[in-house]
Amino acid sequence: MFSQAIVKQPSESLINGITEANLGLPDIQLAREQHKQYIKALELCGLSVTVLSADETYPDGCFVEDPAIITPAGAIITRPGAASRTGECEAISQALKEVPLQTTDIHAPGTLDGGDVMMVDSHYYIGLSERTNPAGANQLIQILESWGLSGSTIQMKDMLHLKTGVSYLENNTVLVCGEFLNEPAFQSFHRLAVAEEEAYAANCIWVNDRVIMPAGYPRTQAMIESAGYQVLSVDVSEFRKLDGGLSCLSLRF
């Protein structure tokens, strides 16, 4: 179960964020409203949410999942693979000083984005992507092992982040799509396959027995509900324009 979350307000510079989505520029007012609804959904799941102020220096700064990973044993400040994002770590590191957890970090030449890390109980799957390199993944595995946890890598092909295409919904269940449908590492899970036209909805978060998912993906929502979950949907269309998944808007612990 989770009790807390950290989020960061979107900045006006969000329009300059990294994207390959080709969905146009985000509407900042709408992004702010959607972000508020996202916080409400986390609160509805029982989380106490720390809201960090927007920082115009970092267009992608609201995607807080990438600069840190929080495990029950400690937190890891990552070294994001996109050069424009490395400075985001400072604010997250400051915020984590308020959390009573040991903290360590990923160092050069390692790069690692939290979006590439999926927690399944005490094991962490790490996607090797354009953002996360083998050095970063190996450092993370060593840190996890020193804390009594474990990690393993998954070679990725096309997706931005591991969790762009797979989400762990507890109860041995994963939501999967695209390149991960046949991924050997996920074959032992109960797999809920997301249709290609709803691929964006493969990024959902399990929060204390509920699943928060993006609004507007009825087939995926019906499938998750049929699997027995109570679903909360939140419109995150403006973040999607920046290739941002729903999970990347918060750190949950």
Interstrand relation of 4-8 and 205-207 (parallel, antiparallel or unpaired):
unpaired
Distance between CA atoms of residues 7 and 10, nearest Å: 9
Candidates 62, 177, 204, 248; catalytic one: 248
Q: Is 161 a catalytic residue?
A: yes
State the number of CA atoms in the 13 A half-sphere of 148 facing the CB: 3
Residues 223/192, Cβ–Cβ less than 8 Å: yes
**Residue 247 · residue 204 · CB < 8 Å:** yes
- Minimum CB separation from ligand CIR for residue 85, in Å? 6
Q: Residue 244 interacts with ligand CIR (CB under 6 A)?
A: yes
Among 6, 35, 45, 66, binds ligand CIR (CB under 6 A): 66
Indicate if 123 belongs to the active site: no
Q: How far is CA 170 from CA 1, 24, 116, 121, 208, in A?
A: 10, 34, 18, 8, 10
Q: How many residues bind ligand CIR (CB under 6 A)?
A: 16
Q: Which of 117, 248, 251, 252 binds ligand CIR (CB under 6 A)?
A: 248
Q: Which residue is nearest to ligand CIR (CB)?
A: 115
* 161 near ligand CIR, judged by CB under 6 A: yes
| Binding range to ligand CIR, per CB under 6 A, among 15-23, 44-52, 171-179, 184-192 | 15-23
Q: Please give the positions annotated as active site.
A: 161, 248
